[in-house]
Amino acid sequence: MQIEITVNGTTESHDVEARTLLVYYLRDAVGLKGTNIGCDTTSCGACTVLLNGQSVKSCTVLAAQVAGDEVTTIEGMALEDGRMHPVQQAFQECHGLQCGYCTPGMVMAITSLLAENPEPTEEYIRLGLEGNLCRCTGYHNIVAAALAASGAPEMHQ
Amino acid sequence: MIPASFDYVRVGSADEAIGLLSEHGEDAKLLAGGHSLLPLMKLRLAQPSLLVDIGPLREFSYVTDEEDYLAVGALTRHHDIAVSPLTLSSVPLLAHVAGQIGDPQVRHRGTIGGSICHGDPASDLPAVLLALGATFVARGPNGQREIDAKDFFVSFFEVALKPDELLVEIRVPRPSDARWGFEKLTKRAQDWAIVGAVAVRSASGVGVGLINMGPVPLRSGAVEAAVLSGANAAEAAQFAAEGTEPSADFNGSVAYRQHVARVLVRRALEKAGV
C-alpha cells in the first residue's frame, strides 16, 4: 500500500506492506537510521519518535496507522541554523550518554515531556522516563540533561 | 519481530467498521491504539486476517460531563484521560490510574476502549471501572446496547462484545463525595501489576476491584460486604483473597499473590477512608 507520512517536515511517499512497523519504515523506507531498535517489545524506548509532537514507541505503531501524520526523528531535531536542539545540547554538556544507543529515544522522550510540562521537577522527569531504559549511565546525567534543557531559552519560545 | 501478513482497512465511520466486522466475523480485529493487539501480533499470538483501523474515528475521543455520569469516548487515549480537567475534577481516580498505565509513550497511543476490550486481567483500568460501577456502550448492526462492567469480562481475554460490535463509550458514575485508593505492586516501573487493588467509598456504597487475581478482572464482593457491615479496613481486607484464582509465575506463587491482595486491599481501603 502507498502511504504518505510527513517525516521531519518532508512528505515521504512509499509503497509498504500493511504490517510494516513505523520504526522499520523510518529506517528502511525513508533511510533514517537514527531511530534505534532495542527490545522491539514496547519496553525500552530506544525507538521513541514524536508523532504529531507526542512521544511514541515506533516499534508498536504501524506505518499505515500514521499515514497523513507528522513524525519527527532525531535527525529532525537540530535547529534551522544547524545548532543542536537544546535537549541534544544538554546531553552533551551534562554527559548524558555513554554508549549512546538509548540516546535518540531519550532525546525524543524528553522533548515530549518538556512540551507537556516546560517547568518540570526532577520527580516529573524521573517518572516520565520510566519507558526509556539506559544500561550505562544510571540515569543521573540524563535527568540532569533534561532539567538543564528545560531552562534553555529556546525551550520557552 | 514482524506481524504475520494481514489486510488492512482504515475506516471513515463506525458503521463502516461494523459492516466489515459483520462481513468478516472473527477473522477481523479492530485496531485502536494498537498497544495490546500489535504486541500480540508481533509474537504471532494473534494472526487476524483483517485489521480494521478505527484510529481515525476521533469523534470517539472525548470526556464529557453528563447528568448522571462522566462519558468517555472509547478511543480516548490514556494520556488525554489523565490530563482532562473534567476527569481530574469529577473522577480523579480514573485520571490517576490512566496516568499510571505503562509509560508516557504507551499513554500517548493506548486507548481506554482498547484496554477494556482486550480483557487482560492484569490491566489496571478494567478493575477500576468495575469498582466504579461503570457501564459500557456497544454499537452493532442493530444499534446500541449498554453492558454493565460486571457482566463484560467473561473469561480469560474474552469480553461480552459480539464479533460485530464496537465499544463506543464508557459511562462512569461520579459520586460527589467519593474517596478512593489505588495500589499496584510492580517490580519495575512500567510493569504490569503483580497484584493491584482499588477501593472507592462514597455515600452510595463501596467498590473494591482486584487486578491480576484471576482469569478476569475482579470485583471483591466479600470485601465490599464486610465494609458495608461495619468492618474496618484491616478486618475487611482479610476477605480479599476470597473467590480469587491468581496464577503462579516467576513473580509469585498463588499464596503470595493472595497475601499481597490482602495487604493492598487494606491500604486501598484506608486511603478510601474505610
Look over chain A and give the mean of its residue pLDDT values, rounded to a whole number: 96
Asked if B42 and A40 come within 8 Å (Cβ–Cβ), the reply is yes
Residues A34 and A70 in one domain: yes
Q: Which of A18, A62, A116 sits opposite B7 (nearest CB)?
A: A18
**Residue A143 belongs to domain with CATH number:** 1.10.150.120
Say which residue the cell 454493565 belongs to: B148
Q: Which of A74, A94, A117 is at the close of a domain?
A: A74
Kindly report the nearest CA distance between residue A51 and chain B, in angstroms: 9
Q: What does the alpha-carbon distance between residue A103 and residue A112 come to, in Å, rounded to a whole number?
A: 14
Q: Which of B10, B35, B104 sits opposite A112 (nearest CB)?
A: B104
Asked if B102 and A17 come within 8 Å (Cβ–Cβ), the reply is no
A156 has a pLDDT exceeding 80: no
Q: What does the alpha-carbon distance between residue A86 and residue A79 come to, in Å, rounded to a whole number?
A: 9
Residues in chain B closer than 8 A to A61 (CB atoms): 34, 38, 109
Structural domain of B154: 58-173
For A152, B115, B128, the CA distances from B98, given in Å and listed in that order, are: 31, 11, 10
Asked if B104 and A113 come within 8 Å (Cβ–Cβ), the reply is yes
A130 has a pLDDT exceeding 90: yes
Q: Is A54 on the interface with B (CB under 8 A)?
A: yes
Q: Is B189 on the interface with A (CB under 8 A)?
A: yes
Asked if B105 and A48 come within 8 Å (Cβ–Cβ), the reply is yes
For the residues A26-48, what does the mean pLDDT come to?
97
Q: What does the alpha-carbon distance between residue A49 and residue A57 come to, in Å, rounded to a whole number?
A: 7
For A155, B80, B131, B171, B173, the CA distances from B67, given in Å and listed in that order, are: 41, 21, 20, 11, 10
For the residues A42-56, what does the mean pLDDT come to?
97
Asked if A17 and B5 come within 8 Å (Cβ–Cβ), the reply is yes
Asked if B108 and A55 come within 8 Å (Cβ–Cβ), the reply is yes
Kindly report the nearest CA distance between residue B35 and chain A, in angstroms: 7
Q: Is B35 on the interface with A (CB under 8 A)?
A: yes
Q: Where are the alpha helices (DSSP H) in A57-121?
A: 86-93, 103-116
**Residue B29 belongs to domain with CATH number:** 3.30.43.10
Nearest in space to B63 (alpha carbons), one of B162, B148, B172, B164: B172
**Residue A38 belongs to domain with CATH number:** 3.10.20.30
3-state secondary structure B114-152: HHHHHCCCCCHHHHHHHHHCCEEEEEECCEEEEEEHHHH
A157 has a pLDDT exceeding 70: no
Q: Is A155 on the interface with B (CB under 8 A)?
A: no
**How many domains does chain B fold into?**
3
Q: What does the alpha-carbon distance between residue B268 and residue B265 come to, in Å, rounded to a whole number?
A: 5
Burial of A25 (0-12, 13-18, 19+ CB in 10 A): buried
Q: Which of A74, A103, A120 is at the close of a domain?
A: A74
CB contacts < 8 A, A to B, total 83
Q: Is A1 on the interface with B (CB under 8 A)?
A: yes
Residues B211 and B139 in one domain: no
Q: Which helix (H) or strand (E) holds B70?
A: strand B69-73
Which tens digits make up the pLDDT trace of A7-25? Answer: 999 999 999 999 999 999 9
ipTM value for the complex: 0.96
pLDDT by 10s per residue, chain B, length 274? 899 999 999 999 999 999 999 999 989 999 999 999 999 999 999 999 999 999 999 999 999 999 999 999 999 999 999 999 999 999 999 999 999 999 999 999 999 999 999 999 999 999 999 999 999 999 999 999 999 999 999 999 999 999 999 999 999 999 878 999 999 999 988 889 999 999 999 998 999 999 999 999 999 999 999 999 999 999 999 999 999 999 999 999 999 999 999 999 999 999 999 9
- Assigned domain for B216 exists: yes
Residues in chain B closer than 8 A to A40 (CB atoms): 1, 42
Asked if A60 and B34 come within 8 Å (Cβ–Cβ), the reply is yes
Asked if B34 and A48 come within 8 Å (Cβ–Cβ), the reply is no
Residues in chain B closer than 8 A to A1 (CB atoms): 8
Kindly report the nearest CA distance between residue A154 and chain B, in angstroms: 23
Residues in chain B closer than 8 A to A51 (CB atoms): 108-109
Q: What is the pLDDT of residue B175?
A: 81
Q: Which of B41, B55, B105 sits opposite A56 (nearest CB)?
A: B105
Structural domain of A68: 2-74
**Residue B116 belongs to domain with CATH number:** 3.30.465.10
**How many domains does chain A fold into?**
2
Residues B201 and B254 in one domain: yes
At residue B28, φ and ψ (nearest 5 deg) are -105, 145
Asked if A128 and B35 come within 8 Å (Cβ–Cβ), the reply is no
Asked if A60 and B1 come within 8 Å (Cβ–Cβ), the reply is no
Q: Which of A50, A74, A98 is at the close of a domain?
A: A74
Residues in chain B closer than 8 A to A64 (CB atoms): 8, 10, 53
